[in-house]
Structure 1
Amino acid sequence: MSLSQAPTPRPQTIVVKIGTSSLTVANNQLALSVLARLVETLSQLQRQGNRVILVSSGAVGVGCARLGLRERPKTIEQKQAIAAVGQGRLMRVYDDLFTVLDQPIAQVLLTRSDLMQRSRYVNSYHTFQQLFNLNVIPIVNENDTVAVDELKFGDNDTLSALVASLVGADWLFLLTDVDRLYSADPRANPNAEPITWVQHLADLDIDVGDRGSAWGTGGMITKLEAARIATGAGIRMAITNGQSPNNILRILAGEPLGTQFAPQPNPSNARKRWIANGLRPSGRLYLDAGAVQAITKDGKSLLSAGIIKVEGDFQSQDAVVLCDRSGQEVARGLVNYNHHELQQIRGRRSGQISMILGYDGADTVVHRDNLVLNPDAIGPDMKPLADIG
């Protein structure tokens, strides 16, 4: 087959996150050369027929630079005000650079509540699909101006993974201030060993530290959490140096750059991804060994008889974490009873529920259709029965 007859690669959905440390130089001034290379790379991907989303940090840092501030704000009120200043300037720079290449963009600001409520989650999905249809690159950031602590993503690593899961992306790229993941923080430990490939997150035993840059919020811990969300959704993820955005093209071409994470072979469907990652659990249910076996190995729903302890203040249809006796998470799901009711029926057979509560309730505490297993609880080679269908 000649080169002219070679098949065109399948278009992919690609989410790229760039951190504050890669976007800025001294005194939080924008690193325009990095931004220009990033814009050129993303526009090239878009011209190739791919669907591209950029998750961009930097609003607070750019706002601080605009206002002449030397320290990152401490209070949420200060962050919200300064983010409002910086977000507009950041988007103006992006729009100027993308306009040179005739690539339209859109600003999408999200809070955690946009992904927690099912109707807003679905609406967000449809918005992204329409932007793809219009050949637009969405530029996503957390809506810092209105978000409060309990509705914040915490960092854009998590946000980018949730967006990638929402749209069913093929790839998630985290552009950061290191070239790959290491066995320890290379800034503090000169003996840190590079890690190029991660097949299973559970196999990692590394010291990731807990710090980001002076102006960013995400360290390696947040990147591993992003990897958990992304790979669990069947998305391949890569960590690479943000100073060289063209590494994205090289990785897509098959070069072993950065640290790459293998997607899980049996990803959950869209609704279960929402349950696992979009919702914040309001409580914990501790299960006996029989219940753990039933939901992780046999693909069954959770019954009241298998619950030995209830923690938290939650209502029916809230998300809860399901744990074994030791507190190890084995699954998450939507619960059919509130915490008061579960305290009364835990350890009891389903046939006793109506007598205890005085009315007919659901036979299951968490139905298998509303239950998502933790991949580490079932092992990498076992198909999660609760996710079938």
Structure 2
Amino acid sequence: MLKKKRILLKIGSNTLTKETDNISRGKIEDIANQIAKLKDTCEFIIVSSGAIAVAKQFVKLESKQSAIFVKQALASIGQPHLIRIYQEIFREYGLLSSQCLLSYSDFEKEESKTNIVNTINVLVNNSYIPIINENDTVATDEIKFGDNDKLAALTASLLNVDLLIIATNTNGIYTKDSINSSSPKTIENVTNIDSLKHEIVNSKSSHGSGGMESKIESALLAKKANIETWIVNGLEDNFITKAFDNKVQFTKIK
């Protein structure tokens, strides 16, 4: 049997909501449809944000506590709903899925790292797609991953994946000059990742806590593990298969 290409797909809140205030079931269907088409040649591990966005759809919490505790409570409410949506939709496409919650401290202990690798390998080898999120309920501002970009890179490195795909709301990374002139131009191929840092325009999405800077930092972590990173517009339908066929513009960091 041919060895399948192992892909870690990171999906941010802005992609999952399609830049609205609600989780888009249609976007999760789009992801499931693509994975189903590619399952004979690729195996997927997903790092997904969205727990807080799901909770905000139907819960408004009142609290005298600081904002971080409210976010942690929202994550606790939203995470089961997020996984339920994934499982329901993936099942319609003949895909099995599971939940994994990780924290920054898990990547600092050798025993924890070994457990992560062994558990996820068992899941993937039995045709389950692990859906990973940060354990927001116990994380604080000081140890958060930044909309899961860093979590995706650390997990990709630990699992020795072949490709890290970061789905965002732009056609990859744009040159700073093109953004300033209001005609965004994608940087398609990158070999010197340090040069990208000069192209960053700091901005964060409406739902996510990351930004292009955190995506470049993630790509740098992946590069140290010899993993290629693609930054792709996840709002586009069939964004994974189109990227494979070079039918969309995106940034490829080799």
Fold match (TM-score > 0.5): yes
Counterpart of 2:17, as a letter, is T
Q: CA deviation at 1:192?
A: 4.3
1:8-31 CA-partner distances (Å, limit 9, x unpaired): 874111000111111115752112
Identity %: 33
Per the alignment, residue 216 of structure 1 pairs with 208
User: Which among 176, 187, 196 is matched to residue 195 of structure 1?
Assistant: 187
- Which has the larger Rg? 1
* Structure 2: gaps spanning 5 or more residues: none
1:151-190 CA-partner distances (Å, limit 9, x unpaired): 4323311111111101000001011110111112976651
Per the alignment, residue 89 of structure 1 pairs with 81
User: Which among 102, 112, 134 is matched to residue 110 of structure 1?
Assistant: 102
User: Which among 220, 224, 236 is matched to residue 232 of structure 1?
Assistant: 224
RMSD: 2.3
Counterpart of 2:21, as a letter, is N
- Is the Cα–Cα contact under 8 Å of residues 10 and 149 in structure 2 kept in the other structure? yes
Change (3 A) 1:183 1:147: same
User: Which among 29, 38, 41 is matched to residue 34 of structure 2?
Assistant: 41
Counterpart of 2:207, as a letter, is W
Higher relative contact order (CA 8 A, sep 6+): 2
- Is the Cα–Cα contact under 8 Å of residues 141 and 156 in structure 1 kept in the other structure? yes
SS of equivalent residue, structure 1 residue 34:
helix
Counterpart-to-counterpart distance in 2, 1:68 and 1:27: 17
User: Which among 76, 79, 84 is matched to residue 71 of structure 2?
Assistant: 79
Per the alignment, residue 127 of structure 1 pairs with 119
1:293-323 CA-partner distances (Å, limit 9, x unpaired): xxxxxxxxxxxxxxxxxxxxxxxxxxxxxxx
User: Which among 30, 52, 55 is matched to residue 23 of structure 2?
Assistant: 30
Counterpart-to-counterpart distance in 2, 1:205 and 1:152: 22
Change (3 A) 1:205 1:157: closer
SS of equivalent residue, structure 2 residue 198:
coil
Counterpart-to-counterpart distance in 2, 1:223 and 1:122: 25
1:67-117 CA-partner distances (Å, limit 9, x unpaired): 157xxx962211110001111111111111011122110000000011111
Counterpart-to-counterpart distance in 1, 2:237 and 2:122: 26
Counterpart of 1:13, as a letter, is R
Does 2:154 correspond to 1:162?
Answer: yes
SS of equivalent residue, structure 1 residue 194:
coil
Counterpart-to-counterpart distance in 1, 2:9 and 2:191: 21
Counterpart of 2:7, as a letter, is I
Counterpart-to-counterpart distance in 2, 1:103 and 1:26: 26
1:360-384 CA-partner distances (Å, limit 9, x unpaired): xxxxxxxxxxxxxxxxxxxxxxxxx
Counterpart-to-counterpart distance in 1, 2:156 and 2:246: 21
* Structure 1: gaps spanning 5 or more residues: 1-7, 263-389
The alignment's TM-score, normalised by the length of structure 1, stands at 0.60
- Is the Cα–Cα contact under 8 Å of residues 179 and 185 in structure 2 kept in the other structure? no
